[in-house]
Amino acid sequence: MAVPRIARRPILALAAALALSVGFGPATAAGNSVTVAVGGSSVPGAHSVTAATSEVVSWASPILAWSCTQARIPASPVSDVSSGAGVTDVLQIRALLFSCVWPGGSIATSLTAPAAFHVTGPATSGSSDVVQGRIDGVTIRARNAICDFTVSGSMRASLNEASQQLTVDESGFTGNLKISQVQGCLGQVQNGQAMNLSMTLQLTSPDGAVNISGS
């Protein structure tokens, strides 16, 4: 049976909406497409990387601020930098461990799923840019005997090519990082609250320094 002309428009609109909802709509890039060189080479490849902080890591909810003596990207599971042209996932972070103190004692804090550094700002072929970006796909769980909560979302970050430092500066309670799955915690963190996180990680790759330029 033929569909009347008047009825076709709502049917087509519904089909378009369904296509978008299941992922057939226009794709959006995770970040800028860039060229990444490691140790001076932009040949496509994956380069293992570790990292550690040398200064205090700062956390804050709207109610409570606390610190960690260290954060680190360990050697296992392997995190890596992708070299080559047309790269969007510049750094894949597969583990991030924190040494933190919270009211009542230490609190085990770690990344529970892979996250990726994406470039959002300009980058030149020079080796001294501070390249702006963000770390997406963040899921961090913190727990001890009296508190268990999850922080998820994204966080603003930048890579200093000269020092090879990745600086996270998610401040101002923007809502990029949100608290969820709270159990206990004495009201110091609450579901739906924004979270701040600030730290600087010194990156180390056996293959050499990471340099990012525009594609």
Number of structural domains found in the chain: 1
Place of tokens 């000269």: 162
CA angle 192-30-207, nearest 5°?
A: 110
Range of the domain at 176: 30-214
Average of pLDDT values for 64-87?
A: 97
Note the pTM of the prediction, 2 decimals.
0.85
Residue-averaged pLDDT of the chain: 88
Average of pLDDT values for 148-168?
A: 98
**Considering the domain boundaries, does residue 155 fall inside one?**
yes
Has residue 4 got a pLDDT over 70?
no
Torsion angle, alpha carbons of 215, 40, 138, 68, to 10: -140
**Considering the domain boundaries, does residue 25 fall inside one?**
no
Over the stretch 79-105, which tens digit does the pLDDT of each residue have? 999 999 999 999 999 999 999 999 888
**Considering the domain boundaries, does residue 6 fall inside one?**
no
Cis check: omega of the bond before 122, within 30 degrees of 0: no
Helix (H, G, I), strand (E, B) or coil at 36: strand
| 3-state secondary structure labels for all residues of 42-79 | CCCEEEEEEEECCCCEEEECCCCEEEEEEEEECCCCCE
Q: How far is CA 57 from CA 33, 167, 205, 211, in A?
A: 30, 11, 22, 25
Place of tokens 């990029």: 176
Share of the chain above pLDDT 90, in %: 83
**Considering the domain boundaries, does residue 193 fall inside one?**
yes
- Counted residue by residue, the chain has a size of 215
**Considering the domain boundaries, does residue 22 fall inside one?**
no
Over the stretch 110-147, which tens digit does the pLDDT of each residue have? 999 999 999 999 999 889 999 999 999 999 999 999 99
**Considering the domain boundaries, does residue 5 fall inside one?**
no
**Considering the domain boundaries, does residue 99 fall inside one?**
yes
**Considering the domain boundaries, does residue 97 fall inside one?**
yes
Could you tell me the pLDDT band of residue 215, with boundaries at 50, 70 and 90? Answer: low
